Structure 1
Amino acid sequence: MWRTSTIALASLALLPSVLGTDILHTNGFSNCKTGTSTVKVNNVDISFDKSTNNVDFDVSGTSTEEQFVTAELIVTAYGIKVYNNTFDPCSDDTKVDQLCPVPEGTFSANGSQAIPSEYLSKIPSIAFSLPDLDGNAQMVLKAKDGTEVACVQSTVSNGKSADVPAVSYVAAAIAAGALAVSLIGAAASGAHPGTSTSSPGFFEVMWWFQGMAMNGMHSVNYPGVYRSFSKNFAFSTGLVSWGGLQTSIDSFRSHTGGNLTNNSYDYLKNATLVYPDGTTTTTTSGIAKRALDLVARQINTSVNGTGAESGNSTSKESHLVQGIQGYVEQLTIPQSNTFITVLVLFAIVILAIVVSILLFKVILEAWALFGKFPKSLTTFRKEYWRIMFQTITNLIFLLYGVWTLYCIFQFTHGDSWAAKVLAGVTFAAFTALLAFYTWKIFSVVRKLKQLEGNAHALFENKETWKKYKLFYENYKRGYWWLFIPAIIYMFAKGCVLAAGDGHGLVQTIGQLAIEAIMLILLLWSRPYQRKSGNWINIIIQIVRVLSVVCILVFVEELGVAQTTKTITGVVLIAVQSGLTAILALLIVINSIISCFKENPHRKRRKAAEKHLSRDLEGDAFLMQPTPTSSPPRHGRKMSEAGGYDRFRALAVSRFGPQREESSEALVTGGADMGKSGYRSVSQGRSDHTGSPPPFSREPRLPDLAFENYRHK
């Protein structure tokens, strides 16, 4: 039996295979027989090593009675049956003492057998190179009368997987780089009103990673390669595998109405996850280690614990999963722990932000006592509370989509009343905060339109800009309102994905409609100030739409062939990986530009100051004529003085016309210079006192009996 069965197992490589260097092996197992069974398999571990041409196996189980059986081995790859063979364990050429007959009680067998050379040539080399093979091996034991007494199935892999920790680290580094470039750009602009950041920014990168993670949460039959790939971006949604944290959350749930029987960290550690298409995976990461530790062994068998060597009788529970549950539990996060996991990590990040800002504030205060720090840090020193609050608001805005997802998932799949209360409170608080900012911005815009006729002060007034820029800083002036569709977009994505869990077709069609509407909105408005921002965000949105179209291929109701699904999964990985690489390249380019390019606002300010200084030095109007200039003629109007014309033109070019002033008013008002009030809606001032802005501080003639001089 074992020789025949192991040859059959190796033959699954007739189609592209899965994981490790020259090794094919089973990965977890599940019982596929419905109802009661007289034979129960507790452990299955079979592997083929190309370098030694051996098949190693380790099988154990229990039987309620002694019985003669026949065994059928079925091997499929990518939905195609590549091997099917029935054999008798009592036959001379397939003799297996442990199954002839199947004994009552426990039994186990482990060992190694060689594969004949004629079968090796049928295994293509591609079987050992492609990651995440969609292969499945199933063994069915039947009684002599044809009654099925046991059924066990296992996924076959080769040691290679698209689930690579290095991918998560690289993605996190890309996000960190985008954050650093965004911070450098903000510091270089000096919080100048109307300044936009370069694309891709931190928000764009994180939302892109979140999108790829959410693409792996649909209740569809993903090919194994894409399921593993999407797992790499779980960190962007707040999911991190942390055993100690999960144990603490389990304890919290157990005291607040939670059921830990089949929904706990300890249970998942010893469970085999079974997906709707029959593929299996384990939650532990010992696959590669087991492959390296495989050695050729002589066959050893035992009955009821006696014999030369007893096999491993440890049993792994079969755990059927799909959708969001399948995504989070492959990270060893029980589905009912999902929201609390994200909440705790969110609280840790908030604490880190608060501590970092307060620590930096203390450093600045100490610096002020012993030295003089740069003027660029003065704003932080004075307004650190505002900066802290806005940083937290930024984080809430960033996570609002996935927060909606996890809160609704907690309401529908959670079992702890305390966790549901926390989900409701935090979701209401986050929504209320974003609604408050929306109301405030609309209130400001309404007042500005009443007083000035437009909302340009959102981008021109420094105080208004500092308060609300996080929502619209990269948009054009006429499209400041697009942050509202962005919030609705995030809410709708999380809501449809969570509420539709278990219904893959509904989820996918809903997500496709949402992504398509957002793409149409971007193509219609092209709202970003920079052309690069428009193109990058439109391309990202196009890839999002195409990604959901690809996921539609995985929907079970459409009946698409497994080979087509696998090809689609590989294409989807290639497209998403390519766009991620482009974003990383653009971040590097932006960082180089930020380091060597002079701040355009500072450059324009210096040029204006230099020009103004040169005009004032040679201005006859200030009674400091240049050597080549002639004194003004008697009765010459002051507006004809060239210096003043140049000064006025410069002021208008920088700040725009303020009000009409005749030359006579300029002369007669010289004595009142600096006393008149000034009022600007853009400046947000309602009083008539204080210094006017720089563009109204025009030169006035001192009171030196100039009128008498004019009429002589």
Structure 2
Amino acid sequence: MSNSSFFATLFQVTFTPDNGTLSFNLNGVSQISGKVILEFQVLGYGYSVYHGTIDPCADDTLKGLCPMNQGAIPNLPSNAEIPQSTVSKVPNAIYYIPDIDGKVRVWINSTDGTPLACVEAELTNTKTVNQKAVAWTVAVIVGLGLAISAIISGLGHSVTAAHVAANALSLFSYFQAQAFIGMTSVESPPIVEAWTQNFQWSMGLIRVGFLQKMATWYQRSTGGTPSTYLSALSTASVQVQKRSLAVMGAVAGLTKRSNSATTNIETMKVLTVSGIKRVGFKGNIELTNIFFTGYIFLVIFVMFVTLGVFAFKFICEALIKSKKLKPEQFHDFRNGWTLVLKGILFRIVLIAFPQMVVLCFWELTQRDSSAEVVLAISTVVTMIILLAWASLKVWRIARRSIALHQNPAYILYSDPNALNKWGFLYVQFKASMYYFVVFCLGYILIKGMFIALGQGSPTLQAIALVIIEAAFLIAISIMRPYMDKKTNAFNISIASINLFNVILLLFFTGIFNMPALAIGIMGVLFFIVNAIFALIVILMVAWVSFKALTTKNPDSRYQPMRDDRASFIKSQNSLGGTQELDALGATARGDQFAAERKRMDLEDEDDSMASSQNVSQVNRPQYNQQEMGYSTPQEPPRSATASPYGYSNPASRSAQQFRAQNTASPNMWQRGVGY
């Protein structure tokens, strides 16, 4: 309470139902002088379970408080007898429910009943859903999913690689959404805060001792003042914001200090943490190190991935020289590993985008040091520019493909340069939905900004998140933008759960004035629904990844995608080094001009639509479009093989016929995808 006359440096409470005792240890610094009465109250989910008073002068163990004197008071252990009739009213389930919302509150009152101070301690049955094993398990499964997709892609199974990667990324985005819930400043039930704490690793908030020292050193060396709450808890009281604070506020201010004498209490610090600060404090991270911790883990991750690609390249070469690896395996990766590395780094930018949007914009409100502010601005602006530029490149390539081939999938999947470098933005979507990534990036940006900049307005945060999640769910339910039905169902399910979570978050704000017990029940419901759903999607991703590794031809498990992308994916392998087979393969795909011109360079600035049309008109006037596998909008040819875009695709049929007649393994056509 404000203007408190007592500051507790220790307050521990233990309730033993077998003998009905409530034991506690209490010490601290006092400005109170005179006789006092201790008023006990035990709360469970907002309801008073027990309420009673103790006179220190009548309790032998509390003689040190009769009367209470100014200054430091010694550790005073005591036991309070609770009637058995009261103990029997406590449900047995309360001893097993994790993260129970229970508290013990003690008022120090004057003999006339005037509140002088209030101390509070949380009750726990030592059971919690915040488990390091859970965090490590989900992190390993997501990481393995992404790694397996890369390996499967290198082995030539492009369809399987696309599905594994898409599911792993969707699962990771779900974990980040869970972390977002914990980062809001809404006063959620303890079980919700504990559950969402399991996923803060997806935001880079992982405590490592030497990194914390590095963050503190960096902040101090760049003009900032590091916080020391974790290392000075003996002189600082850090209160994790709870729903009960509103009740405590009713007591605050009822009386001013009864004694104006200056004691050690004046040097004590009191801090209430919520939102992102609450997440950092629970993660044992100093409050001024939160941004730098997330940033440095991104840098470390990029470094390890880059070194991993380097190592994998040289390991492959060494295995081939020792004849332990077939030359055609990982052929495209070994020949174009720098291009693959660029695509991987772009994908990391996409994965880390939600994390850095929240942390960078939040750092602008904290300003831990001038250098960290500059770092935050430069990082988030660079990420936005890179992803916007990459999205523009995809749009231009798709528009050019539509103009030349009446199909966006043709160049998006037939050009290995585009596929390996920019494929991370569109392979999870249908070819006709190549632009949907722009909506996804906008969704992440707006959502992250409300989390970062709305820390002082929990109700506004909750309302905004409900609107954002509802709009995203409606969009993907109507547009169905993902590559197939299963992937659409997977992502729609995740979006539905995200909407359910933020609706509960809106109830947690208290704007509907619901009773505390109802809020507690909703908190348990939040945990149960998300725990079951997380288990299901984790098992699905793990199963898909396992089958991808153990099945001889995993692509056979998936139906051909309607955008015919597999027909356009070119192999960078020369099929044994014979140029005749390369030419034959190009003919089968409908690209008979490949021998007359080099592959279009998608990185040049002259790859605009107009220049592409000019190239096609200059280089190909003597060929008939229908013979080459193209059709004009005016006279579209009829074909028994229909395309999902409403046009004939003889190139696809030719490719299928050629593979059936001349290729022993269709995987030879599907290398170099770079998922």
- The bucket for the TM-score relative to the shorter chain is 0.7 to 0.9
User: 1:268, 1:334 within 8 Å by CA — same for their partners in 2?
Assistant: no
Closer, same or farther: CA 273–142 of 1 in aligned 2, 3 Å: closer
Of stretches 360-369 and 217-226 in structure 1, the one that deviates more from structure 2 is 360-369
**Distance in 1, Cα, partners of 2:338 & 2:158:** 16
Q: Which of 263, 266, 269 is equivalent to 2:231?
A: 266
Deviation (angstroms), 1:556: 3.1
**Separation (CA, whole Å) in 2 of partners of 1:404 and 1:82:** 44
Find the aligned partners of 1:43 and 1:35 in 2 and give their Cα distance: 19
Structure 1 letter corresponding to 2:271: H
In structure 1, which of residues 511, 524, 530 is the aligned counterpart of residue 484 of structure 2? Answer: 530
1:96 paired to 2:51: no
Match of 1:356 in 2: 308
Deviation string, structure 1 residues 27-59 (Cα, Å, up to 9, x no partner): xxxxx3x2151x443321121234565544322
TM-aligned CA deviation for residue 681 of structure 1: 7.9
**Aligned counterparts of 1:462 and 1:371: Cα–Cα separation in 2:** 27
Q: How does 1:173-572 map to 2 (within 5 A)?
A: 173-191=140-158, 196-198=162-164, 201-260=167-226, 262=227, 265-267=230-232, 271-278=237-244, 318-371=270-323, 373-374=325-326, 375-457=328-410, 458-572=412-526
CA distance in 1, matches of 2:535, 2:166: 12
Q: In structure 2, how many angstroms separate the alpha carbons of the residues matched to 1:143 and 1:251?
A: 47
Q: Which has the larger radius of gyration?
A: 1
| Distance 1:602-1:538 versus aligned 2 partners, 3 A rule | closer
1:137 and 1:156 in contact (8 A); partners too: yes
The 5-angstrom pairing of residues 118-129 of structure 1 reads: 120-129=87-96
TM superposition shift of 1:379: 1.7
Match of 1:35 in 2: 3
Distance in 2 of aligned mates of 1:195 and 1:45: 54
Aligned to 1:171: 138
The residue aligned with 2:642 is none
Matched, 1:85 2:57: no
Q: Distance in 1 between matches of 2:333 and 2:110?
A: 79
Instruction: Report deviation, 1:265.
Output: 4.4
Shift of 1:536: 0.8
Secondary structure of the 1:523 match is helix
TM-superposed CA distance for 1:229, in Å, is: 0.7
Counterpart residue type for residue 208 of structure 1 = Y
Counterparts in 2 of 1:653 and 1:559: CA distance versus 1, 3 Å:
farther
- 1:306 paired residue number: none
Whole-Å separation in 1 of the counterparts to 2:80 and 2:505: 42
Contact 1:211 1:544 in 2 (8 A): yes
Find the aligned partners of 1:222 and 1:200 in 2 and give their Cα distance.
Answer: 31
Change (3 A) 1:63 1:597: same
What is the CA deviation profile of residues 40-79 of structure 1, one whole-angstrom value per residue up to 9, with x for unaligned ones?
4332112123456554432223444641112222222211
Q: 1:195 to 1:465 in 2, by over 3 A?
A: farther
Indicate the residue corresponding to 2:670 in structure 1: none
SS of alignment partner, residue 344 of structure 1: helix
CA gap of 1:392–1:597, structure 2 versus 1, over 3 A, is: same
Q: Structure 1 residue 680: deviation in Å?
A: 8.9
- Shift of residue 557, structure 1, vs aligned partner: 3.2
Q: Distance in 2 between matches of 1:66 and 1:453?
A: 88
Cross-structure match for 1:134: 101
Q: Aligned pair 1:576/2:507, yes or no?
A: no
User: C-alpha distance in 2, partners of 1:102/1:427?
Assistant: 55
Go from structure 1 to structure 2 and tell me whether the alpha carbon gap of 1:161 and 1:368 turns closer, same or farther (over 3 Å shift).
Answer: closer
Question: How high is the TM-score relative to the length of structure 1?
Answer: 0.72
Q: 1:279 to 1:156 in 2, by over 3 A?
A: farther
- Residues 274-295 of structure 1: per-residue CA shift (max 9 Å, x gap): 3153469xxxxxxxxxxxxxxx
Deviation track 1:691-712 (CA, whole Å, cap 9, x = no partner) reads x9997999xxxxxxxxxxxxxx
Whether the aligned pair in 1 keeps the contact of 2:340 and 2:421 (CA below 8 Å) is: no
The aligned counterpart of 2:73 is 107
In the TM superposition, what is the alpha-carbon distance from 1:363 to its structure 2 partner? Answer: 2.5
Q: Check whether the contact 1:186–1:197 (CA below 8 A) recurs between aligned residues.
A: no
Once the two structures are TM-superposed, the CA of residue 555 in structure 1 deviates from its matched residue by 0.8
Between 1:356-365 and 1:263-272, the stretch displaced more is: 263-272
Change (3 A) 1:268 1:424: farther
* Secondary structure of residue in 1 paired with 2:482: coil
Q: Deviations over 1:188-226 (max 9, x none)?
A: 43558x984247622111101001111112221201111
One-letter code of the match for 2:120? Q
Do 2:339 and 2:417's aligned partners in 1 also have CA atoms closer than 8 Å? no
CA contact (8 A) 2:24 2:79 kept: yes
Question: Matched residue of 1:44: which SS?
Answer: strand
Q: Report the Cα offset of residue 116 of structure 1.
A: 6.2
Pair 321,446 (structure 1): closer, same or farther in 2 beyond 3 Å: same
SS at match of 2:338: helix
Measure how far apart 1:372 and its partner are. Answer: 7.0
Task: Give the 3 Å change call, closer, same or farther, for CA 279–164 of structure 1 in structure 2.
Answer: farther
- TM-score (ref. length: structure 2): 0.76
Query: Unaligned stretches of 5+ in structure 2?
Result: 247-264, 561-566, 568-583, 603-611, 621-627, 630-650, 659-675
Q: Which ranges of structure 1 fall in alignment gaps of 5 or more residues?
A: 1-31, 281-312, 609-649, 660-673, 699-712
Instruction: For 1:266, give the aligned amino acid.
Output: S
CA contact (8 A) 1:43 1:316 kept: no
Alpha-carbon distance between aligned partners in 1 of 2:215 and 2:553, rounded to the nearest angstrom: 51
Larger displacement relative to structure 2 (343-352 or 577-586)? 577-586
**Within 2, Cα distance between the matches of 1:103 and 1:510?**
51
Q: Greater relative contact order (Cα 8 A, min sep 6): structure 1 or 2?
A: 2
**Shift of the alpha carbon at 1:344?**
0.7
Amino acid at match of 2:472: M
**Aligned amino acid, residue 149 of structure 1:** L
Match of 2:672 in 1: none
Distance (Å, rounded) in 2 between the aligned partners of 1:396 and 1:209? 17
- Check 1:527–1:445 CA distance in 2 against 1; reply closer, same or farther (3 A cut): same
Amino acid at match of 2:315: I
- Check whether the contact 1:178–1:200 (CA below 8 A) recurs between aligned residues: no
TM-aligned CA distance change 1:562 to 1:681, over 3 Å: same
Residue identity opposite 1:511 in structure 2: L
For 2:31 and 2:447, how far apart are their aligned partners in 1?
51
Query: Is contact 1:178-1:205 (8 Å) kept?
Result: no
Once the two structures are overlaid, the 10-residue window that deviates more, 594-603 or 51-60, is 594-603
Change (3 A) 1:84 1:145: same
Kindly state the Cα deviation for residue 493 of structure 1 after the two structures are TM-superposed. 1.1
Amino acid at match of 1:428: V
1:383-438 CA-to-partner distances (Å, cap 9, x unmatched) read 22112221111111011122111110000123211101111111121112112212
Structure 1 residue identity aligned to 2:94: A
Between the aligned partners of 2:322 and 2:599, the Cα distance in structure 1 is 40
Identical aligned residues as a percent: 25
CA contact (8 A) 1:273 1:330 kept: no
Q: CA RMSD in A?
A: 3.7
Shift of 1:653: 12
